[in-house]
Amino acid sequence: MLRTLTSALSGIAIAAGLLAGAASVTLSATASAASLSAEDRADIARVEKYFNSITSMRSTFLQASSTGNVAKGTVWLRRPGHMRFEYDPPSPILITSDGILITYQDLELKQTNQIPLFTSPLSVLVDDDVRFDDKLIVDGVRKEANVLRLTVRQREHPEHGYVTLAFQDKPLQLKQWIIVDAQQVSVKVALLDPEFGVSIPNELFRPKAFDKPGDEVGR
- Residue 135, exposed/middle/buried by CB under 10 A (0-12, 13-18, 19+)? middle
Q: Round to whole Å and give the CA distance between 211 and 65.
A: 33
Residue 185 domain-assigned (yes or no): yes
Alpha carbon distance 17, 25 (integer Å): 13
* Residue 207, in any domain of the structure: no
pLDDT tens for 95-139 read 999 999 999 999 999 999 998 988 776 777 888 888 887 677 888
- Residues near 121 by beta carbon (within 8 Å), at least 6 away in sequence: 17, 20, 152, 153, 154, 160, 161, 162, 163, 179
Instruction: Report the number of distinct structural domains present in the chain.
Output: 1
Sequence-ordered list of residues with C-beta below 8 angstroms from that of 171, at least 6 positions apart, any chain: none
CATH of the domain at 149: 2.50.20.10
CA-CA distance, 100 to 87, in Å (whole number)? 22
Q: Which has the higher per-residue pLDDT, 25 or 33?
A: 33
Q: Name the least confident of 10-14, 15-19, 54-58.
A: 10-14
For 135-163, how does the pLDDT look when each residue is reduced to its tens digit (9 = 90+)? 778 888 999 989 999 998 777 766 667 88
- Domain presence at residue 209: no
As to burial, measured by CB atoms within 10 angstroms (0-12 exposed, 13-18 middle, 19+ buried), residue 27 is: middle
For residue 36, being part of any structural domain is answered with yes
Number of neighbours of residue 156 by Cβ within 10 angstroms: 10
Residue 202 forms part of a structural domain: no
* In-domain check, residue 121: yes
Q: Is residue 45 part of a domain?
A: yes
Amino acid 181: pLDDT: 75
What's the domain range around 42? 5-191
Q: Dump the DSSP string for 26-89.
A: ---S---GGG--HHHHHHHHHHHHHHHH--EEEEEEEEEETTS-EEEEEEEEETTTEEEEEEPT
